[in-house]
Structure formats: C-alpha cells, structure tokens
Copies of this chain bind each other. A is one copy, B any other.
Amino acid sequence: MEPGPPGSSGPAEPGPCLSGQRGADHAASASLQSAARTEPGRHSLAVAAVLPAGGCGERMGVPTPKQFCPILERPLISYTLQALERVCWIKDIVVAVTGENMEVMKSIIQKYQHERISLVEAGVTRHRSIFSGLKALAEDQLNSKLSKPEVVIIHDAVRPFVEEDVLLKVVTAAKEHGCTDYDLEFGTECLQLALKYCRTKAKLVEGSPDLWKVTYKRDLYAAESIIKEIISQEICVVMDSKEDNKHVGHLLEEVLKSELNHVKVTSEALCHAGRHLQQIILDQCYNFVCVNVMTSDFQETQKLLSMLEESNLSILYPVVVVSVHFLDFKLVPPSQKIENLMHIKEFSKKVKERNILLYGLLISYPQDEQKLQESLRQGAIIIASLVKERNSGLIGQLLIA
C-alpha cells in the first residue's frame, strides 16, 4: 500500500465540518450542509470510502482511462474525490489505481490539494481492486495512518455527482442493518467479497439519476456542462467605492440581473481592504465583473486579480474575470483607447497559469439613456457568454459592447 503525499492520508479532525474553508463545494453542497448538521451523531461513526479506479475506459472511445479524462482541464476522478472529501465524517478515502497510473494519481492529489486520500494498487478486476482497498482498511499495518472503519462506502471513481444525503442514507442503512443482503444495483458479489475476506462492514451505494456514471464520451460532455452550470450561478460585480464608478457599476449590475435569469448577481466594493469581497471569494463565487474607473488602465482589475491569486479559489475550477471599461464612443473614438486596453492580453497569459480566465470588455457609454441601456444589455450578453462557456481560447481578448 502506498500512502498519498505527506499529511494527506490521516483522518480529518473531528469538529465543525462542511464550513467551506477550502473552496469549490459551496454550489454543490449548500443544500447538504443542513442535513449533516442535523445528524451530529454521525460524526462519531468511523466511515471510510473505497474507490475502485483501475478501469481502462474502453467504452469511452478515447485512449485515456475515463477516470482521468479532463473536465475543464481537471481529471474526472478529482471531482469525485472532491465530492467525498467535502463530507467530513468520511475519515479515509482509499483509491485503487493500477501501478502504471500511480504517479498520475499522486500528482492529481498534489495539484488539487486532496486530503485524506490513500492509494493502493488496483487488481485486475473491479472486485479485486475493492478487495485491495478493504484489505488496507482492515489490516493493522505498522505504518498505516488509516483508522479502522465501522462502515465502508464503495463508490465508483466515475460517479462525480454523489451527494452527501445519499451517502448519509447508505451509512445509516449499513449501520442499522449490517450487511444483510440488499437489492443492490451492482449485484451483491462485491458485498460477498467484503463479507468473506474482511472483518469490515461493507455496503454498496445504490444508483440514482444523480449518481449517474460517466461511461460514454457523451457523459463527459454532460458532466462538463453540469459543472459549468454549477459554477456559473453567481456573478459578483466589483467596483471602486468612488461615486461615479459606483453609479455605472450599479447600472451594469441591474442590467445583468434583468438579462440573466437563474444567476445571482451581487456587487461588492474593492475598499475596506476588501473584507466583504474576501468573504465572497471564500463563499466560492467563480465569476467576477470588475468595473475600472479610468478607461485606460486596469487598476481595479489588478487589485482583484491579486486577491484571487492569494486565495485558493481557482485551484479546483477556472475563475472568470471580466475587466470592464466604459467609454463614450462619440466623444472619444474607441481606437484611441483600444491600444492601451490590448495590454490585457499580457495579464491574461500570466493569470491563466493560476486558472483565472481574464477577458476585457469595453462598453460604449453614450449620453442618451436609451442607448446606454442598449450597450449595457450588449455587455451583459457578452459577460453571460464568457461566464457560461469559460473558453480559454479567447482569454485576453478585448470585446466591445
């Protein structure tokens, strides 16, 4: 058995959990936090998870095993680990991977800062992989940091959308009924295996539409769209606290609100050492529209980018930042300002390394109220497109509304 990176394989500390301290779970798990909090007794039960991840993904029609296929440039299995990790009462997560993918898996754990993960070598079949995982949990190994669990959840590495309430139900059932013979989606062979070789209670997770398995290439497409949708549910309009800047920022905010249904649009000032903004970043908003006071510079955008870079927000998901600039095209021909604003390309290359997708947006600001509304509406459509698609091929572009 091979442990994960230093410090990653120990059990989580008991105590308050699901507080969203390290990003990316808010959108998916918000509804689950209350469920967990109503079951504090659960925390005292020792629960572990085993993920068989030794498959080769032949049905996918792509050379990469499906658990390593990228979704928004991050491997699928990382999403599944993230879903299990956010459940604080799962003390250990044992992943069974083939020897040849061991190094890939280690680098995934390191890059995406996964915790509580241990690695074991997968067997030639799914059952043997599960067996290896259970064995690692059951044995009293000298160097093992694993705690012996009372309940083990067996979960496919290619089911990224598992929710805490399902896991909670399974664990509750397992505790109440032991391993009695359930009617399980995947048959009971795995269960028999667990009963035969281990002194650990085991139960398979029953399937449901939400628990859907990524099997075909079309499932990868669907998963990507679902994830994009989840992280596009909130846009924060960031502006300086100066009055005139605030005015135009709020105008844009209003138009965004009316143009984008199903999206929560908030606004925040860059002042007060950005305390409120810090909270929005902690609460995992992945989309920012930054209103710049001067048409020709990026002062506000640069402040925001620094804050984002300091946070770990973009480790798991690409963060979209739209740097917005206003200009009365009648008074000043846009070409005069464009050359300056084209420097956004250099910034965008730099922050792309940190998984931040930066785009520029120059919005026409005519004196005529109706025309202004129309150009703000055009701007909102462009912002919505950028947020929805998260197209890394178009970073650094200066778009014009």
Contact = CB atoms under 8 A, between A and B. Distances in A.
A182 to B, nearest CB: 25
B400 A399 contact: no
A207 to B, nearest CB: 14
Interface in A311-362: 333-336, 338-339, 342, 345
A69 to B, nearest CB: 14
A347 to B, nearest CB: 15
Nearest to A342: B400
Nearest to A397: B399
A2 interface: no
Interface in A382-401: 382, 384-386, 388-389, 391-394, 397-400
Contacts of A389: 389, 391
Interface in A204-243: 209, 212, 216, 218-219, 221-226
> Helix, strand, loop or mixed for chain A's interface?
helix
A339 B223 CA distance: 41
Contacts of A399: 394, 397
A224 B228 CA distance: 14
A327 B79 CA distance: 44
A381 interface: yes
Question: What are the 3 A-B residue pairs with the smallest beta carbon separation, nearest first?
Answer: A385-B393, A221-B225, A335-B335
